[in-house]
Amino acid sequence: MKLDALPDDVRPRSRAEGYAIQRELQLCSGQGLAGWKLAATSVHGQRHVDVDGPMAGRLLADRVVPPCSTLSLAGNGMRVAEPEFAFVLGRDLPPRATPWTRAEVLDAVTALRLALEVPDSRYADFVHAGEAQLVAESACANDLVLGPVVTADWRSLDLVDHAVRAEVVGRYRRGGTGAAVLGDPRIALVWWANELSTIGETARAGQVVITGTCMKSLEIQEGDHVRADYGVLGSIEARFR
């Protein structure tokens, strides 16, 4: 069941209130926090949901599945898959008064993984729900197909121009690059670290951070088989029922 909106007496009026609600929802779920997602890291994504910039959301542990999994689309109103870069933290990044620098954040990253996000919204009209309500629902966090650790030397690559090619097998193909993610996935990662610092959250070692889709979202339906090829970094796929 989708909501038209949160009840007026509990509806968040600001991004900060939205983050407070998403934190409580995760605690009430009883699920561990597998990591974080970034939404609206592309101009197209921001325009689609009418927001001015990125948003962070929580990834629940029970919604993370391995590659080649088959996922249900029952009840999913968005019906898209998004190829993303997933960074794994090797140490904590706690809140602090001064912003985290790019060098500090990248030094805290211990690995890169590949991911296919399958987002969904709790709102019937998520396009017009507004930033605060979208943040409250963890920025449309839903299912995540998470690949193994990349063995190639990803730090030596230019992730901005790195090509990602995706295929909804038998139906269409689409391509993109890391530039779709705030101009550079690493820029998005630094933004995320400082966004968490601003709201008093610690980024924990072992958590994964997906930084946003590398291309226009892939429209999917029941029976689809999606494969994303990241070249030397590997590939990832999933099926939908």
Name the 3-class secondary structure at 216.
coil
The 10s digit of each residue's pLDDT in 34-64 is 999 999 988 778 888 888 889 999 999 999 9
pLDDT for res 199 = 96
Q: Which of 119, 139, 112, 147 shows the shortest CA–CA distance to 238?
A: 147
Task: Decide if pLDDT at 72 tops 90.
Answer: yes
Give the chain's domains with CATH numbers. Answer: 15-240 (3.90.850.10)
Burial 178-194 (b: 16+ CB within 10 A, else e): bbbbbebbbbbbbbbbb
Q: What share of the chain is helix, strand, coil (3-state, %, to 5)?
A: 25, 35, 40
The 10s digit of each residue's pLDDT in 123-175 is 999 999 999 999 999 999 999 999 999 999 999 999 999 999 999 999 999 99
pTM of the model: 0.96
Helices of type H across the chain: 15-29, 43-49, 102-108, 131-136, 185-198
pLDDT for res 45 = 83
First vs last C-alpha separation in the chain = 19
> pLDDT-based confidence at 1, cuts 50/70/90?
confident
**Torsion of the alpha carbons at 135, 139, 143 and 144, rounded to the nearest 10:** -110
- From CA 77, how far away is CA 121, in angstroms rounded? 7
Task: Decide if pLDDT at 90 tops 90.
Answer: yes
> pLDDT-based confidence at 226, cuts 50/70/90?
very high
pLDDT for res 53 = 87
